[in-house]
Amino acid sequence: MTDIPGLGNTLVCLSTMIQRRYAQICADHDLTVAQAQLLCLVKDRPRRLGELSHLLGLAKPGLSGLIDRTERRGLVQRVSCAQDRRACDLTSTPLGKEIGDALHADVGARLPEIVADLPADDRATFAGLAAEITGCH
Amino acid sequence: MTDIPGLGNTLVCLSTMIQRRYAQICADHDLTVAQAQLLCLVKDRPRRLGELSHLLGLAKPGLSGLIDRTERRGLVQRVSCAQDRRACDLTSTPLGKEIGDALHADVGARLPEIVADLPADDRATFAGLAAEITGCH
DNA sequence: TTGCGTTACTTCGTGCCGCGAACTAACTTG
DNA sequence: CAAGTTAGTTCGCGGCACGAAGTAACGCAA
């Protein structure tokens, strides 16, 4: 494969730009990045902890603590699962749902400012390629 | 400006993909992301702490602690500045320089795997646009 | 020169984040 | 039923980063 010089660094820079802005948006909704990501996964449907662990790339104890903190803020709730009494579903509270929806809207509105300097057709091209890479459709 | 639906989410996904892979590469060199970023800024020339604070987007105490931990590992060194006795330059040790260079090479080699599934011309297009957005030349 | 505001950095206390190891309870299989 | 597996928790640790408060050095003005 043809190497593109400096691409590695460019990707790190890009990712840092996105993370910084995303963290700011989260903070504006009084959320940490980790809590925001948890909330977004859970705000529209309940999920098993094991599933969350996989999606977030966290080991069990890390997830457990993250849920503890988020539950303490009243955004999320453990619900014991009827089919398997060992297991837990995590759901969002009404407050969590509300905040999660607001965050999602804000991310959609403000994060793309990062590419605002590009001409419109480049912006569309970039968005398409990024969607391709991530598999986010 | 024309909104591109879902772009906010796509950017978060992209950034997460990059961060996860980058963290893995750092871990392979026994570095945390924060320490790696510090080391990369310092490995080719000394820098003032104030400059680093600005570049890394950290407040003073956060940087101070990060440097403490990195210094404890022998990768980096505080050098008091002759011109201004309040100030500090941060330099990399020979070990730090070596590890930093190895990391940099590895990032260049392995991080672009993220875009490996794209056809070659799309890859080049994406790289160009990303460079444009970040201002990484 | 002496004093005063500013700047550069550190220390302290706090809280979030995430890991491995060890544990408990519940399911499953022989 | 016994043994092994699975889902989740707890504990102790270390990294990360903040605000508030402190210290030392600089620079300027009276």
Give chain A positions within 8 Å (CB) of B118: 129, 132-133
Spatial distance between the Cα atoms of B57 and B55, rounded to a whole number of angstroms: 6
CATH code 1.10.10.10 for B7-114: yes
Which residue bears the tokens 């978060």? B12
Burial of A100 (0-12, 13-18, 19+ CB in 10 A): buried
Which A residues between 72 and 111 have a beta carbon under 7 A from any strand C atom? 84-86
Q: Looking at chain B from residue 18 to 47, which residues have their Cβ under 8 Å from any Cβ of chain A?
A: 18-20, 22
Please determine, for residue A104, whether its predicted confidence score (pLDDT) is greater than 80. yes
B82 touches strand D (CB under 7 A): no
Spatial distance between the Cα atoms of B122 and A40, rounded to a whole number of angstroms: 31
8 Å CB contact between A103 and A22: no
Q: Which two tokens stand for residue A87?
A: 């297991």
Mean pLDDT over each residue of chain B, to the nearest integer: 96
pLDDT digits (tens, 9 = 90+) for B78-103: 999 989 999 999 999 999 999 999 99
**Per-residue pLDDT, A1:** 55
A93: closest CA of chain B, how far (Å):
22
Cβ-nearest to A10 among B3, B17, B127: B127
**Per-residue pLDDT, B3:** 79
Alpha helices in B30-119 (DSSP H): 33-42, 49-56, 60-72, 94-110
**Per-residue pLDDT, B2:** 66
Q: What percent of chain A has pLDDT over 90?
A: 93
User: Is residue B90 within a helix (H) or strand (E), and if so which, with residue range?
Assistant: strand B88-92
**Per-residue pLDDT, A117:** 93
Interstrand relation of B88-92 and B47-48 (parallel, antiparallel or unpaired): antiparallel
Tell me which chain B residue has its CA closest to the CA of residue A23.
B12
pLDDT digits (tens, 9 = 90+) for B112-126: 999 999 999 999 999
Which B residues between 40 and 69 have a beta carbon under 7 A from any strand D atom? 57-63, 65-66, 69
pLDDT confidence of A67, banded at 50, 70, 90?
very high
pLDDT digits (tens, 9 = 90+) for A19-62: 999 999 999 999 999 999 999 999 999 999 999 999 999 999 99
B42: closest CA of chain A, how far (Å):
15
B59 near A CB under 8 A: no
A105 near B CB under 8 A: no
Fold of the A7-116 domain: Arc Repressor Mutant, subunit A (1.10.10)
Mean pLDDT over each residue of chain A, to the nearest integer: 96
**Per-residue pLDDT, A96:** 98
**Per-residue pLDDT, A48:** 97
**Per-residue pLDDT, B137:** 63
B132 near A CB under 8 A: yes
Please determine, for residue B7, whether its predicted confidence score (pLDDT) is greater than 60. yes
Q: Return the domain boundaries, chain A.
A: 7-116
pLDDT confidence of B1, banded at 50, 70, 90?
low
Please determine, for residue A137, whether its predicted confidence score (pLDDT) is greater than 70. no
B111 DSSP assignment: G
Report the candidate in A121, A17, A133 with the shortest Cα–Cα distance to residue B131: A17
Please determine, for residue B136, whether its predicted confidence score (pLDDT) is greater than 90. no
A74: closest CA of chain B, how far (Å):
24
Please determine, for residue B52, whether its predicted confidence score (pLDDT) is greater than 90. yes
**Per-residue pLDDT, A2:** 66
